Amino acid sequence: MSKRVQVSMRLEHARRDYYRRLAKEQGYKSRAAYKLLEIDNSFHIFKKGQKVLDIGCYPGGWLQVASSKVGRTGLVIGIDIRRVDYKASNVKLIEASVEDDGLIDKLYSILNNSKVDLILSDISPNLSGVWSLDHARQIHLSSRVLSIADSLLISNGSAVLKVFDGDMLKDFISKVKSMFTRVHIYKPRSSRKESSELYLVCLGYKHVNV
């Protein structure tokens, strides 16, 4: 291994450790909170009083950020197949999968048949280690999130979708671009350098059926 590679690896470990320590010091449940904070600093996706759907919310770092950003007059609904240990007056949690047939009805019930201003998705499949399979599973889950957006996102609303880079991404981005006025591909500084994860910051929902 070359010295340059060794130095790069040390720098990457130091960066990861920095965000882990920072999350612990500032009370965030995960270093992923800083990814969402970076996205908001760049694109200003949050406003006070918004209704937000956080899909794949475990362990709760994005919930914390969203709860703080929308304030007491807002609402954040977190969804995950795992139990999330987080409580706030403006947060409601649903233990469910995005593939559950009854999920939309549950959400409409919580929302009193209204819609949300912003959908966040940091969703990932259980990784198998076979990249082509993991990539396909992640795109499938993100496509399910788009279906939820088609039912629940207000006109001109926004979404942030995590995706894995791979062969299926180009077609998925084309689908997203057909639904939103603007789509930005973004990689936060707090993401691991070697990670293939990217975020699609989608603005101006056009109500096009998926």
The rounded distance, in Å, linking the Cα atoms of 100 and 25 is 36
Give me the residue label for tokens 């593939």: 99
Q: Cβ distance 82 to 93 under 8 Å?
A: no
3-state secondary structure at position 12: helix
Across the chain, the runs of DSSP E, i.e. the strands, are: 51-55, 75-80, 91-95, 116-121, 153-164, 180-186, 197-205
* Cα distance between residue 115 and residue 45, in whole Å: 16
Q: Is 175 a catalytic residue?
A: no
Name 93's bridge partners.
Answer: 78
Which of 35, 51, 162, 187 is labelled catalytic? 162
Q: Which residues contact 39 (CB under 8 A, 6 or more apart)?
A: 45, 160, 186, 188, 199, 201
What residues are annotated to the active site?
162
